[in-house]
Structure 1
């Protein structure tokens, strides 16, 4: 197949004839053709009247994904459409059709800007060098990518820490190495965007239209509903009149009006979106009656507002005629199914005597909704009523639905977070490692007391397993650790991370996040002392020349808060971290060293002599000279970090006006600073979304420096880099 395709590559649809090219170009094409035929990567050019395209061939799916990453690095957005096309073929192009039929189809990208000789030559030269490097690199069984489980765990930690760059990095790693198809990757991306509350990214995702055409898990539909609510309806719902809300709904594009579910809604965004989509698509009165009842449970004023949008003159006729006799149970269920009211249909069918026809309808509705609690009730009904054996002999469609129900209930997603914690305690490896963002998406979030009790009761071995595989759990339960009483939870998870001896990027960012939450939660002396001891073990295992700056950030965050609280433990932790940094102290930059000095000053101690650099202040000030006579605003919820950074900037930069703020929302002062500051720094990982959106809105097109790591040295590094 490869030989046939490559032999025909320079035929119809390709204006390039290799024999008419310069000898060196023809020779490189021959080398690439030979490499492709022998199971190596290779690149072939194609010219059309529209432009120049390159096709990148790889022998396996894994190498294809790796090749896409390499092309991003070697060609990338500078000279190609790779960020947009992601190497996809165009099935509508007759030239691409046979290529798409290959077992491992090639990647395609266009050289940009079109007609530019420099970009054409740059891309060709880059591909020549890239192919030679890949052909000649040594193969090593030890140089393998991380397992999917490891990447997914870090992804959970990144979401819990609200570290967007790291989360997107994990997604790219999964795209390059994990055995996940395009659909599963798209669903995973949407769950990540939800965790980061990055609703704009959902609308910008290249696979959105593809997902809208799928039979989606209801959790994905709820995510898309939340995105629609945020983008189109939230402002009018919270601030405007009912008429404003209806007018806002008219702006929802037609392709997004397919997000009704027929399932019970339990949140304001879901009920508002489903109701307004019902208005736009002329839903039945059964749907509106259900949604109004659900709205009343969420907020009485919401029920009244939505009801006002549905005047009697425009209300769809009821599916039931009040002048006629009440319909039979079977007729009513059929009416509800036809109206798309699947959850209501199930409830009606469960409330009457067992019936084979109704049981088949319930199965079909359950499959549409994919809601675990309904699936359990339907399965129990079929078993208790004795209808299961009868259905197993029914037509093929009913048997298919029954088989789906069995598989759905046996999947890992039915485990639940309590079951997962039990698996951690019982060392059930398969159940532990199969829990990821997709499989756990519909699990019910545990309350604070339950999580505290389970973590407190775990022996060290189980706590170590929690630390090794708890990324998805932390992503789901992030809100518990932000609460005022979350100090004990933070301490337990830090213990788990320490006992796991894991040093991944996810563990490092989670450690910083937990320390920030801990400081804000008002810990007792005992909890803070214990947390510092566990953090010392984490730092000891993870510190290196590459992570030295991270260790400084950890030290700064861990010692924030009231100075007198656990002062002895802070002193011990300070010198413990310095001891761990000592072998790699040459990796510390001047901002890191200044950060250490600031901590020493706060703890009323001194920095060891070998960490001091004589006459460092002029050199330290150099990267910040561009800030002279400017107004700089530093925003972070970690007040100690921005206070330390401001102190240093005032000392180093003449005429600088540094202001700090830790507001949770918006104010007239924050609006003024956002609009007028010369430089605005926002520690995105330590910020409330309400405040970040407020800042971005008032900042407009002016530059905004976003820092994704806590600690004053991180802020200073970001300012130095501009």
Structure 2
């Protein structure tokens, strides 16, 4: 937490720390020292006869806690907390600068302003804040502040990727960098996997360690992620339009450190084939060109012809650029040396043709040279089938004792092979899921991204079979440890008709009783998927029951806005109007947030009123008392008056609610929601004509985002990287 004290006690603040009384100077110094040490501190501001205090906290959770405590320590007797709930005033230039802080301070004015009571109230508030800060900063560390285990953070990271919540994913990565016992290489691999999962290809290619990763031995999944990023940013547009000349031009501009970007295993996607093929052409690797042409047909029927056309153009260009130079051949010119099988296998390995090198090495005379080639290729490939073949070959030819007498590198490769083939179970997603029922927590928790990289996602039918027939015990374990599983199978849940699957996972999250950021973002995502699939009344009613339990486990002073987001998402669907369970669900959520009602912001209260009005229900009066008559929830959005605003998301629960709230708060706003697919004429018109265009990137295809950016003509697009109407409103409030 960084605060510019010189600026704070500058323009807009009549207080100068060096000019106040000695006792007050000591108090201010203590507060400023606490803030610099990332503790809780308070700073005063006097301007035109009025006095405000600003509360600074290093985290959002602590800020919410302070707001609750201030209600008790200061309360409406000496402040305007009941009216403004600590909100900064964006129309005040002094506060506008503070709005840019990562964790915005809370602000309250000391009341009453009039003499003779003002002197007493100001002294009372100062003393209360001093005592409160000492108690807060002097208490033992809370469990909530303790570092989480790597397994817990990785699980949340998986949920964030599955929900496409970039903010939570990046927060998990920062937490791993700060607390996890991982070296820089593994942290780099994690970042690249996360960016790939979020389909943030530009961030992946801009990663600070990318050139080092490309120069080292890396897992197959990392190579494939980088290939996908290169394809998406450099080749995809030309490839989709069949522009072979442009593809060749694009590969010539590829930086040299991308040249080793091949996997030597059969590719599984068009992106992998195209990237490897273009690099092979540029590098003159004829062996790889032939292999890729033969493998491309298994991916798409017309792909080999497309690649051959690229190859013909390349060869024509080379022929045209070549200058024939005839040299006289004399009888003294030595004959070309004949390459031995060992030399050829070594050359193939050095060029990255690992599978071809491995196949040839199996035909060599058993010995130390063949063993070296086999182990090096197997370790580079990291494929279970090839590793098993090498292990069987070494045992069958009694070659292990040769390795024991060889160098350290060869012994290290053999140790890796033993661990890879014997030291850990050769699982897959099905085996991992089945282990949930056996209380095999060691197996369930031991997997990491480096292990699951090579696991093929389950088919739709296989995943459906596992979830539908899973026991409550297995579902609860899935809710506790299933972040990476959900990230690997996100496409299944996004597909139409997956309401039943989303309901089963929500049941698992509820039964696990887990409280984490990952659970919360996953809950909103699954609710979006489920409602988009038009669930039948029974599934909808059951879903509300599970969500009520998830909210119960996750509600706190810092998650009330999330709970209101869940309420809004669940009730915006037509199914809510006809379900007998909706009204009890509304009041259940109200009961859950009541103990933390002081943490509800003005926009939350507006959302509650809109939901209650639609359902013809009454809002609990004690919640409304948190909003005084002169409170103005519309202030942050007033700049949108008379503007045309478009909110874009493929799942419309959040955009629909955000639009309703903005129409209530900003009369005269022209607001539309859109879930059009990229390329539609309506989306093009909206993007071209809107004054403000908002894209919920957590629920939008990258092609649609690119299309919108193109139609905006350079005008900005507001990107929202999280789900929920509050995320949209928060971005708009910040202007």
SS of 2:673's partner is: strand
Give aligned pairs, total: 582
CA contact (8 A) 1:519 1:560 kept: no
Aligned pair partner of 2:663 in 630, 633, 650: 650
TM-score, scaled to structure 1: 0.74
Distance 1:309 1:215 in 2: 30
1:460 offset after TM fit, Å?
Answer: 2.7
Q: Quote the residue 2:480 is aligned against.
A: 468
Q: Quote the residue 1:454 is aligned against.
A: 466
- Cα-to-partner distance string for 1:16-69 (whole Å, 9 max, x where unaligned): xxxxxxxxxxxxxxxxxxxxxxxxx99xxxxxxxxxxxxxxxxxxxxxxxxxxx
**Structure number with higher relative contact order (C-alpha < 8 Å, ≥ 6 residues apart):** 2
1:381 offset after TM fit, Å?
Answer: 4.8
Aligned pair partner of 1:483 in 491, 495, 512: 495
Distance 2:661 2:475 in 1: 40
CA contact (8 A) 1:191 1:438 kept: no
Q: Quote the residue 1:535 is aligned against.
A: 547
Q: Quote the residue 1:601 is aligned against.
A: 613
Larger deviation: 407-416 or 526-535? 407-416
SS of 1:297's partner is: coil
Does 2:246 correspond to 1:244?
A: yes
Distance 1:560 1:692, change over 3 A: same
Distance 2:365 2:159 in 1: 47
Q: Quote the residue 2:568 is aligned against.
A: 556
Q: Quote the residue 2:234 is aligned against.
A: 232
Runs of 4+ in 1 over 6 A off after TM superposition: 136-139, 326-332
Aligned pair partner of 1:634 in 637, 640, 647: 647
- Cα-to-partner distance string for 1:150-175 (whole Å, 9 max, x where unaligned): 11111111111111011111111111
1:650 offset after TM fit, Å?
Answer: 3.1
CA contact (8 A) 1:260 1:274 kept: yes
Distance 1:524 1:699, change over 3 A: same
Q: Quote the residue 1:265 is aligned against.
A: 267
1:243 offset after TM fit, Å?
Answer: 1.2
1:318-357 paired onto structure 2 within 5 Å: 333=345, 336-337=348-349, 339-347=351-359, 355-356=366-367
1:561 offset after TM fit, Å?
Answer: 2.5
Distance 2:443 2:426 in 1: 11
SS of 2:311's partner is: coil
Distance 1:354 1:443, change over 3 A: farther
1:240-639 paired onto structure 2 within 5 Å: 240-283=242-285, 285-311=286-312, 333=345, 336-337=348-349, 339-347=351-359, 355-356=366-367, 360-383=372-395, 385-387=396-398, 389=400, 392=403, 395-396=406-407, 398-410=410-422, 412=424, 414-563=426-575, 567-612=579-624, 619-639=632-652
SS of 1:658's partner is: strand
Distance 1:503 1:543, change over 3 A: same
1:607 offset after TM fit, Å?
Answer: 2.8
1:332 offset after TM fit, Å?
Answer: 6.7
Distance 2:302 2:707 in 1: 26
Larger deviation: 370-379 or 214-223? 370-379
Larger deviation: 502-511 or 572-581? 572-581
SS of 2:297's partner is: helix
SS of 2:515's partner is: coil
- Cα-to-partner distance string for 1:576-616 (whole Å, 9 max, x where unaligned): 11121222223222221222222223334333333446886
**Cα RMSD after superposing both structures:** 3.2
1:205-220 paired onto structure 2 within 5 Å: 205-220=207-222
Distance 1:249 1:353, change over 3 A: closer
Larger deviation: 301-310 or 215-224? 301-310
SS of 1:660's partner is: strand
Structure 2 residue runs of 5 or longer lacking an equivalent are 1-35, 38-57, 59-133, 323-335
Does 2:725 correspond to 1:712?
A: yes
CA contact (8 A) 1:503 1:541 kept: yes
Larger deviation: 191-200 or 264-273? 264-273
1:262 offset after TM fit, Å?
Answer: 2.4
Q: Quote the residue 1:147 is aligned against.
A: 149
Aligned pair partner of 1:166 in 165, 168, 171: 168
CA contact (8 A) 1:553 1:714 kept: no
SS of 1:463's partner is: helix
Distance 1:435 1:400, change over 3 A: closer
Structure 1 residue runs of 5 or longer lacking an equivalent are 1-40, 43-69, 71-132, 317-323
